[in-house]
């Protein structure tokens, strides 16, 4: 299968070029593919204060961070979002809001524009209200459509993010048509990666190879039709590739994520890996966390790579793949990512893919993101 763009292989020269602030794990939606931790509710009372987030922003700029994403959960659930955007803008960040659109009303859009917000990434699951509302577990479709129209009316550059899985993959053409009519500049059709809630629901969410191929063909048709009017990205899930993606451009290379409780992470999923020492900006400087902490040094660079990665000619392209996926599928984050066809654990991927050739069935209902969902599900099993 042709590979979609894997992202630029950037040499950050030791700097965290891209900063992601997970302001909160709170969210009005209950998406069954959410990247937030399964125990997200445990962090609600530990969220950083406005002043603490401002200190993080100052220290990140001192480290050389340039691009900033305000995310969550749903970042609009923080009342101080506009204040944080304004502060980030004042010290030189290019600011991006990553949102579900729920809560993005006229008042907040005006305030965010005045604060200096530069770009908005809006997630939309479907062009059909019934499907969207069923997938996210809330009456959210109309709110998302309204948010999209308002974003464009206020002149924001907009990235439309459509998380792609079995239930909505056949609606990609409809999404392209709707987005083109609205004048959206970018669409990312992101076949979801299977961590946390998505891994819990993998058997029901993972599309088939035939669906992936058809969707990719549809995207190419719309690329030809739209030309330079819109940029379309189509991200193929690891499960259908022969080589792993260069996850985060390498562990601790250019990406820095700060969790709601201040824990600094190489990526938003890294907390799934046991045995790592996670430390907070409340106890350590961001410079120490980035440069010196055992967490960021653990899988940084290439020296730690196991075989067959260490001998692979492509190791400087994929950096061994994803550590979180390696742990979740093999039990050891130091193993070769099973997304690689050369991995001794490739059969873990192959077995999962075999399951998706069966018709869409919903025999196992999607587990919706909620504080009690995981414990209830495991008790039933």
Is 322 among the annotated ligand-binding positions?
Answer: no
- Return d(Cα 321, Cα 70) in angstroms, integer: 25
| CA-to-CA dists, residue 74 to 97, 187, 234, 345, angstroms | 10, 20, 24, 35
- Which residue is associated with the tokens 């390696």? 326
Helix (H, G, I), strand (E, B) or coil at 363: coil
The beta-strand segments (E) located in 192-267 are: 231-235, 255-258, 264-265
Question: What's 309-325 look like in SS3?
Answer: CCCCCCHHHHCCCCHHH
Is 340 among the annotated ligand-binding positions?
Answer: no
Is 31 among the annotated ligand-binding positions?
Answer: yes
Tokens, residue 216: 């990719």
Tokens, residue 131: 């499907």
- Number of other residues whose CB lies within 10 A of the CB of residue 111: 15
Q: What is the DSSP letter of 254?
A: S
- CA-nearest of 38, 371, 356 to 202 is 356
Helix, strand, coil tally for the chain in percent (to 5): 40, 10, 45
- CA-nearest of 18, 36, 19 to 27 is 36
- CA-nearest of 377, 359, 342 to 244 is 342
**Contact by Cβ (8 Å): 17, 67:** yes
**Contact by Cβ (8 Å): 328, 337:** no
Please enumerate, by residue number, every residue annotated as part of a binding site for [4Fe-4S] cluster.
Answer: 27, 31, 34
Please enumerate, by residue number, every residue annotated as part of a binding site.
Answer: 27, 31, 34
């Amino acid at each position: 299968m042709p590979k979609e763009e894997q992202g630029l292989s950037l040499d950050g020269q030791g700097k965290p070029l891209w900063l992601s602030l997970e302001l909160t794990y709170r969210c009005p939606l209950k998406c069954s593919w959410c990247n937030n931790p399964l125990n997200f509710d445990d962090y609600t009372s530990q969220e950083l204060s406005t002043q603490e987030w401002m200190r993080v922003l100052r220290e990140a700029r001192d480290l050389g961070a340039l691009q900033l994403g305000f995310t969550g959960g749903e970042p609009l659930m923080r009342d101080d979002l506009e204040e944080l955007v304004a502060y980030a803008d004042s010290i030189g960040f290019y600011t991006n809001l990553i949102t579900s659109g729920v809560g993005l009303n006229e008042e907040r859009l005006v305030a965010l524009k005045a604060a200096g917000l530069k770009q908005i990434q809006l997630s939309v699951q479907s062009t059909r209200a019934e499907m969207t509302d069923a997938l996210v577990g809330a009456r959210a479709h109309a709110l998302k459509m309204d948010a999209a129209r308002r974003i464009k009316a206020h002149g924001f550059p907009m990235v439309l993010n459509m998380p792609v899985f079995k239930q909505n993959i056949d609606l990609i053409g409809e999404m392209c048509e709707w987005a083109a009519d609205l004048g959206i500049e970018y669409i990312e059709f992101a076949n979801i990666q299977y961590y946390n809630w998505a891994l819990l629901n993998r058997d029901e969410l993972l599309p088939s190879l035939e669906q992936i191929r058809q969707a990719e063909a549809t995207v190419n048709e719309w690329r030809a039709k739209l030309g330079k009017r819109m940029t379309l990205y189509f991200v193929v899930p690891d499960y259908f590739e022969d080589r792993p993606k260069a996850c985060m451009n390498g562990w601790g290379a250019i990406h820095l994520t700060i969790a709601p409780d201040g824990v600094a992470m190489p990526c938003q999923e890294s907390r799934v890996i046991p045995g790592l020492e996670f430390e907070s900006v409340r106890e350590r400087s961001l410079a120490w966390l980035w440069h010196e902490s055992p967490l960021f040094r653990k899988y940084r660079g290439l020296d730690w790579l196991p075989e067959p990665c260490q001998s692979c000619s492509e190791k400087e392209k994929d950096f061994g793949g994803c550590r979180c996926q390696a742990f979740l599928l093999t039990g050891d984050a130091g193993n070769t990512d099973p997304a690689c066809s050369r991995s001794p654990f490739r059969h873990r991927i192959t077995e999962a893919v075999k399951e998706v050739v069966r018709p869409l069935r919903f025999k196992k209902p999607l587990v919706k993101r909620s504080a009690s969902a995981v414990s209830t599900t495991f008790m039933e099993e």
